[in-house]
Amino acid sequence: MTPPTRAEALALDSADPLGPFVERFVADDPNLCYLDGNSLGRLPVATVARLRQVVEHEWGKGLAGSWPEWIEWPVAVGDRLGASLLGAAPGQTLVADSVTVNLYKLAGAALAAARAADPARRVVVVVADEFPTDRYVLEGLAGGTGGALRTVAADAVAGVDPAAVTAALGPDTALVVLSHVAYRSGALVDMAGVTDAAHRAGALALWDLSHSAGAVPVGLDVAGADLAVGCTYKYLNAGPGAPAFLYVAARHQRRLRSPIQGWFAQRDQFAMGTAFVPVDGVERFAAGTPPVLGLAAVDEGVALLAEAGIDRVRAKAMALTDLLVGLADEWLAPLGFALASPREPSRRGAHITLRHDEAWPVTAALVTAGVVGDFRAPEHLRLGPAPLSTRYVEVWDAADRLRRLVAEGRHRAAVPPAGRVT
Amino acid sequence: MTPPTRAEALALDSADPLGPFVERFVADDPNLCYLDGNSLGRLPVATVARLRQVVEHEWGKGLAGSWPEWIEWPVAVGDRLGASLLGAAPGQTLVADSVTVNLYKLAGAALAAARAADPARRVVVVVADEFPTDRYVLEGLAGGTGGALRTVAADAVAGVDPAAVTAALGPDTALVVLSHVAYRSGALVDMAGVTDAAHRAGALALWDLSHSAGAVPVGLDVAGADLAVGCTYKYLNAGPGAPAFLYVAARHQRRLRSPIQGWFAQRDQFAMGTAFVPVDGVERFAAGTPPVLGLAAVDEGVALLAEAGIDRVRAKAMALTDLLVGLADEWLAPLGFALASPREPSRRGAHITLRHDEAWPVTAALVTAGVVGDFRAPEHLRLGPAPLSTRYVEVWDAADRLRRLVAEGRHRAAVPPAGRVT
């Protein structure tokens, strides 16, 4: 096909119903093509004011007197997130801790409950290419309890085959842990199908929504999902290291207990009783004092996405990545790039990945050309045009600069040492 | 004794070498007596600018390109905290997660290591009146591993007797967990003595520094402490829910492993290897992505205390609480208040507690008189004049307003329902 011209990309922006949302983010460098929203989302303009309000007024002036309001936020912000983006009825979503810690709490709770019901149920099924922290946490949990991981191979591009997950399930399986959108390829998994297979095997399904929350509609309740965790500093635009979220389906809450028994999970917390008696609701998966600044930022990010509507966000995500895939086919394939994401937009999330032998020097050199993507070892360039904050022309310019840079061999000129891009 | 006059309190402020530091905090209400710095410390003026810098420039403009700097902060800020306030050489202090999660990680690591060396070492010794989240976490950890808690009684005022701790230790003891300064009474424990007793019994000592960091010099290395955790939103002025810290003595780092195996503890993290191989240093006790805004606020709070010098802070803490105790003896004892903190300043931290039959209505009514303290069930009013941000006259005014309020019976006029004051 003939790729669109730059004028055509600009026309897509003019016609974009979400176009005005781009202005709702801080963006002082008009030359920058920021295709790394899947790593760290842009700063919403409203968040600047909200954080000043929280810091300078609520903390600075209200001091400890602000706690009666702040203390409600983990559940209140969780409910708003659940309702607008996760398909979760109230009382099931909590904003707290990091993805790592939340995964530990929920997987630990699920493994303990499974073992208590049937000592033979000790296996966690996980995809071989699952995001590292998920694998590390599960390896530690399984090892600490005499359990085991069972690894399912997945295609590096197409992602995991639900049939392979089903084949890995058995009467020994306690839990399946899976990313809804794969962090590397962007492949989208059929949540309802895999959850159903887990249930038929007597196991629970825990979903990592880090790369899907705010990018893809997530119907946790409808899919019958049991547990979920996810990140807020990517598509939810809550800032570096902002608190993560967790979801526990209401039907499981009373029988699951977090291995980390913290005082924010305690019934009648400020009576400060001697024995731990967790509350009934999703707050029983809280641990320590909630990170108030981060919660405010999550709230603002969620509000922005809720205003845009996740279905429109999804439509734009597909259109942006489609544009990128089309340009990559036309311009980049001849330069040694191969699409390492599903070609069908409905099978992927909001980012795509390109494989290239020199992916690291290309990623590094791109920054000097005003294009930010990110590198994933050993040879992947990941490009995430966050739908709410990215223009079509930004994607066009990024692809154009990328082809020129590689065609001219500029990525070979000054190669920095392989480094960290979170 | 005759209590000082208000003019004498003002004279103490004029002569106070730390007096100018009061101006380094946001304080827009000159009428407010904020004696709750032991719950939520005041906002440093410098933190306002620093957070704007981090949010609006580093995140808003630098975007993911700021990660190479941010990623160093958990250890860098930890080292500055360790050096200036904790008596900890570099490479042993990490800013991360909450006190609850850090306690879980360190106590879990210590229990697992003790069990591996000797399956009979499973007991955690803890004080009966220890801060709730500590007890809950330890109860959960001990229960999950077939261990047990052994509780040591402590005097509600004088705190725990080191001899009672020593008597509770035995060949079955893996770990002693103790607050350096008791959250209720403010009683200060002899860290070196208890640590030594733990070591002689073959156990490790884990210190909760939440009420001592930034208020009392803490000599972790000199005391031979093994492990520690602590809070930053009290005397370190890092804001509501700011990340906590942890300390692991260098000699223990290689043999201890956090039960929560997160990717920020992984060697060569961004290679994203399959198996978890923790780094050698204190970062092996990290878990998820560091909370950047909170880290910046911790850094500012630590810098302010470092500039003041912890010895001068300690001297002022003793003088402020001494003033308060003197006024309480003279004015408040006749109204039914009893000191529930050690009378000897060297035996307590930077807050004092008064017992009173109507402590809850008194605490609540005090707020309407412009005095913020906090209530601890069932009948304690806790007053924490944070040394760096509190004037002597503020303590004088608070005691004066408290005696008038109770003498006039105003606390009985409008009693709100017993509520949460964190």
Residues of chain A with Cβ-Cβ distance to B52 below 8 Å are: 52
CB neighbours of B287 closer than 8 A, spacing ≥ 6? A98, A100, A101, A104, B96, B97, B101, B105, B258, B260, B262, B264, B265
Of B135, B261, B297, Cβ closest to residue A137: B261
What pLDDT, on the 0 to 100 scale, is given for residue B413?
Answer: 83
Angle of helix A392-407 relative to helix A6-15, nearest 10 degrees, comes to: 160
What pLDDT, on the 0 to 100 scale, is given for residue A2?
Answer: 83
Q: Domain coordinates of chain A in residue numbers?
A: 6-44+309-412, 71-306
Q: Which two tokens stand for residue B63?
A: 């975007």
CB neighbours of B150 closer than 8 A, spacing ≥ 6? B123, B124, B125, B126, B168, B173
Distance of CA B345 to the CA centre of its chain: 18
What pLDDT, on the 0 to 100 scale, is given for residue A420?
Answer: 46
What pLDDT, on the 0 to 100 scale, is given for residue B421?
Answer: 44
Measured between CB atoms, does B389 come within 8 Å of chain A? no
**Spatial distance between the Cα atoms of B65 and A32, rounded to a whole number of angstroms:** 12
What pLDDT, on the 0 to 100 scale, is given for residue B378?
Answer: 86
- How far is A317 from chain B, CA to nearest CA, in Å? 20
What pLDDT, on the 0 to 100 scale, is given for residue B215?
Answer: 97
Residue found by looking up tokens 């930077």 in the block: B350
* Matching CATH number, B6-44+309-412, of 3.90.1150.10, 3.40.1190.20, 3.40.50.720, 3.40.50.300: 3.90.1150.10
Within 229-248 of A, beta carbons closer than 8 Å to B belong to 231, 233, 239-244
What pLDDT, on the 0 to 100 scale, is given for residue B211?
Answer: 98
User: Over chain B, what is the mean pLDDT?
Assistant: 95
> In chain B, how many H helices and how many E strands?
14, 13
What pLDDT, on the 0 to 100 scale, is given for residue A421?
Answer: 44
Phi first, then psi: give them for residue B353, nearest 5 degrees: -125, 135
Residue B210 pLDDT greater than 70, yes or no: yes
Domains B6-44+309-412 and B71-306 equal at CATH topology level: no
Return the number of CB contacts < 8 Å for A and B.
Answer: 276
What pLDDT, on the 0 to 100 scale, is given for residue A416?
Answer: 62
Which H or E run includes A316? helix A310-327
**Spatial distance between the Cα atoms of B143 and B155, rounded to a whole number of angstroms:** 27
Of B60, B265, B289, Cβ closest to residue A26: B60
Question: In CATH, what is the architecture of B71-306?
Answer: 3-Layer(aba) Sandwich (3.40)
pLDDT-flagged residues of chain A (< 70): 1, 414-422
Residue B385 pLDDT greater than 90, yes or no: yes
Partners of residue A127 on adjacent β-strands:
A152
Residue B414 pLDDT greater than 80, yes or no: no
| 8 A C-beta contact, residue B344 and residue B380 | no
Please tell me whether the overall predicted TM-score, pTM, comes out greater than 0.90 for this model.
Answer: yes
Torsion of the alpha carbons at B154, B160, B163 and B168, rounded to the nearest 10? 60
The amino acid sitting at B416 is P
What digits encode the pLDDT tens for the residues B15-73? 999 999 999 999 989 999 999 999 999 999 999 999 999 999 999 999 999 999 999 99
Which H or E run includes B135? helix B132-144
Phi first, then psi: give them for residue B58, nearest 5 degrees: -65, -45
**Spatial distance between the Cα atoms of B31 and B37, rounded to a whole number of angstroms:** 16
Residue B387 pLDDT greater than 90, yes or no: yes
What pLDDT, on the 0 to 100 scale, is given for residue B14?
Answer: 98
| Cross-chain residue pair A294–B289, CB shorter than 8 Å | no
Distance of CA B97 to the CA centre of its chain: 15
What digits encode the pLDDT tens for the residues A302-318? 999 999 999 999 999 99
**Spatial distance between the Cα atoms of A22 and A19, rounded to a whole number of angstroms:** 6
**Spatial distance between the Cα atoms of A53 and A71, rounded to a whole number of angstroms:** 17
Q: Which two tokens stand for residue B59?
A: 């995140």
By mean pLDDT, which of A267-271, B100-104, B138-142, B172-176 is the weakest?
A267-271
By mean pLDDT, which of A126-130, B123-127, B298-302 is the weakest?
A126-130
Of B60, B99, B293, Cβ closest to residue A293: B293
What pLDDT, on the 0 to 100 scale, is given for residue A1?
Answer: 66
Name which of A101, A38, A88 is nearest A234 in CA terms: A38
Partners of residue A149 on adjacent β-strands:
A124
Residue B163 pLDDT greater than 50, yes or no: yes
Measured between CB atoms, does B332 come within 8 Å of chain A? no
| Cross-chain residue pair A259–B372, CB shorter than 8 Å | no
